[in-house]
Structure 1
Amino acid sequence: MTMGVFKAAAIQMRSGESLERNAIDLVRLVREAAGQGATYIQTPEMTGALIRDKDARAASFTSEDKDVVVSTARRLASELGIFLHIGSTAILRADGKLANRALLLGPDGATLATYDKIHMFDVDLDNGESWRESAAYEPGTEAVVTEIDGAKLGFAVCYDLRFPQLFRAEALAGADLLSVPAAFTRQTGEAHWHVLLRARAIENGAYVVAAAQGGLHEDGRETYGHSLIVDPWGRIIAEAAHDEPAVIVAEIDPAQSLAARRKIPNLKNARDFAVNAGSGEAPRLRGAAS
């Protein structure tokens, strides 16, 4: 293997309402991924627990320093000497509000970065399926890029996937590995999951690792599964083609991101432009060159 090449894993889970039980599943699946040689391991959105009931959420979730999933992950990262990316878990902030927070733990167990999900899943789908994430969580305000194993990792969580400007901003900040841990609903996953993940990879000439929740959960929701790893040319290089708990692993070579961006240098070719909407002052939008 060439310099800078490493193995990444996406962990597919079916998190229930008990943080303790989910932490046990987390340990088993992360050990399996590390056993396959992965040094960067990502878990899905809401690894800690999926809980729809407001009172049950309030009783279950706590601050980062007291959270059982975070402490378990910290010990595991240190023991295995890996970068462990908790795709997200619910964390009680100092102001009493909940954050949908991703955490990257280093090989010594220390927190290297955190990211609070920016875009809240407030939608009304077919068949009466409706979600209001903003009623439970406080949105983040900052995109995050950090370095692991010679690659630069950009953070996102689930619904963020539908906002390409976030990924473009992270790619312009040097990210060649983009993360989309998710708990995509079955309805939206069947329609959009694969095409959106491949599009984000192609648009930015970057790898995308997307660890997903899958199946019917204790709180009644149903998620799509199909964890994916996509290369910078948009090819799916690993997939859990179902909704069962699983581990997928693929090789990440940052040189492939550089090669894709040299072939199609759209990050450099972007230009500022105005929008002519036919009336009033045209808003000025920023392209990659700004």
Structure 2
Amino acid sequence: MRIAVIQMNSVPDVDKNLEKIRSYIAGSAENGADLVVFPEAAMFPFDAGRLDVIAQPLDGPFARAVEKAAKDAGTTAVVGMFTPADTVYRLPSGELQTEPVEGSGQANKFRRVHNTLLITGPQGTEHYHKIHTFDAFGYRESDTVKPGTRRVTYDINGVTIGLATCYDIRFPGHFYALAEEGATVMVVPTAWTDGPGKLDQWRTLTAARALDTTSYLVAAGQARPGSPDRYGQNDGPTGIGHSVIVSPGGARLAESGYVAQILMVDIDPNHVEKVRKGLPVLKGHRQDLEIGKKGE
């Protein structure tokens, strides 16, 4: 299987990003890619405007155009986008509810979106709504992004792909569950935030999730905007680059830098079965779960 990883800088213009995405899909397919992976928020970048204003349904023009591009190219694409979700009201305690808060006005009203991965190709179209929203370090993604409730796998010519987005990577159970559903290639679009220690964390987590599940891990990140003198500094949720493909044994088969770049790597999905036979960590994980259920 040949995989193209597109590390791009999304701009605050959905149509311009769509034009780039369609071009990358066509070009990657011409170079033999079976799977083309784009970053989280490929449709529109974080910190560039209200997401509820640009969000589109899965049968809207953005998704339809991506589906057509993948179909015309004969390849499968994974693209980060935003879809409408719900309207919620935040209480003074910080809790969210779906009913209006009396006397609160509009200040505590949020039209939330789903942080969605669209996966589409010859095998059909699916979507994944990010489950783990980034509510950490004083940031509340859940105020504007509704968490998903469903894990998703997708078949590409007999190879099962498992989907995750950015902050999901901090939760090993998500990846164990995908592996139990047959996934051998974990796809992780991201807009990982730069900052002190963040690159080291990113490299550790991507290797760990591949090793945890003895799977390939394919992570496509937003390129780092700004000048090189800002690298390593926290400028918000805009991307750190460093897209990567990790083998089931933890080897980094390819890794980009901070700027926009395309990675093209051939993987052997059959290699996963060999690794899992030699290192049966998934079997051990199942045993741990059974022990936890039964006790003594």
**TM-score category by the smaller chain?**
0.7 to 0.9
**Is the contact between residue 145 and residue 155 of structure 1 (CA under 8 Å) also seen in structure 2?**
yes
For structure 1, the residue ranges without an aligned partner over 5 or more in a row are 1-5, 125-129, 275-283
Distance 2:33 2:48 in 1: 35
Secondary structure, aligned partner of 1:161: helix
Distance 1:52 1:85 in 2: 22
What are the equivalent positions in structure 2 for 1:141-180 lying under 5 Å apart? Answer: 141-180=149-188
Structure 1 position 12 matched with structure 2 position 12: no
Q: How much has 1:143 moved relative to structure 2?
A: 1.1
Q: Who is 1:118 aligned against?
A: 131
What are the equivalent positions in structure 2 for 1:256-271 lying under 5 Å apart? Answer: 256-270=271-285, 271=287
Q: How much has 1:225 moved relative to structure 2?
A: 0.3
Q: Who is 2:85 aligned against?
A: 93
Q: Given the superposition, is the C-alpha separation of residues 273 and 238 from structure 1 closer, same or farther in structure 2, using an over 3 Å criterion?
A: closer
Q: Given the superposition, is the C-alpha separation of residues 91 and 235 from structure 1 closer, same or farther in structure 2, using an over 3 Å criterion?
A: same
Distance 1:136 1:269 in 2: 38
Aligned AA (2:265) = A
Q: Given the superposition, is the C-alpha separation of residues 133 and 285 from structure 1 closer, same or farther in structure 2, using an over 3 Å criterion?
A: farther
Structure 1 position 237 matched with structure 2 position 253: yes
Q: How much has 1:268 moved relative to structure 2?
A: 1.3
Q: Given the superposition, is the C-alpha separation of residues 63 and 253 from structure 1 closer, same or farther in structure 2, using an over 3 Å criterion?
A: same
Q: Given the superposition, is the C-alpha separation of residues 263 and 75 from structure 1 closer, same or farther in structure 2, using an over 3 Å criterion?
A: same
User: Could you tell me the TM-score, scaled by structure 2's length?
Assistant: 0.81
Q: Who is 1:59 aligned against?
A: 53
Q: Who is 1:228 aligned against?
A: 244
Q: Who is 2:288 aligned against?
A: 272
Q: Who is 1:278 aligned against?
A: none
Q: How much has 1:227 moved relative to structure 2?
A: 0.7
For structure 2, the residue ranges without an aligned partner over 5 or more in a row are 88-110, 227-234
Distance 2:61 2:85 in 1: 12
Distance 2:194 2:293 in 1: 35
Write out the 4+ residue segments of structure 1 that deviate beyond 4 Å after TM superposition. Answer: none
Aligned AA (2:212) = E
Structure 1 position 196 matched with structure 2 position 187: no
RMSD: 2.3
User: Could you tell me the TM-score, scaled by structure 1's length?
Assistant: 0.83
2:146 to 118, 126, 138: 138
Q: Deviations over 1:218-263 (max 9, x none)?
A: x9754110111111111111221x2222211111211110011011
Q: Given the superposition, is the C-alpha separation of residues 286 and 85 from structure 1 closer, same or farther in structure 2, using an over 3 Å criterion?
A: farther
Aligned AA (1:82) = T
**Is the contact between residue 150 and residue 254 of structure 1 (CA under 8 Å) also seen in structure 2?**
no
Secondary structure, aligned partner of 2:167: helix
Aligned AA (1:26) = I
**Is the contact between residue 230 and residue 237 of structure 1 (CA under 8 Å) also seen in structure 2?**
yes
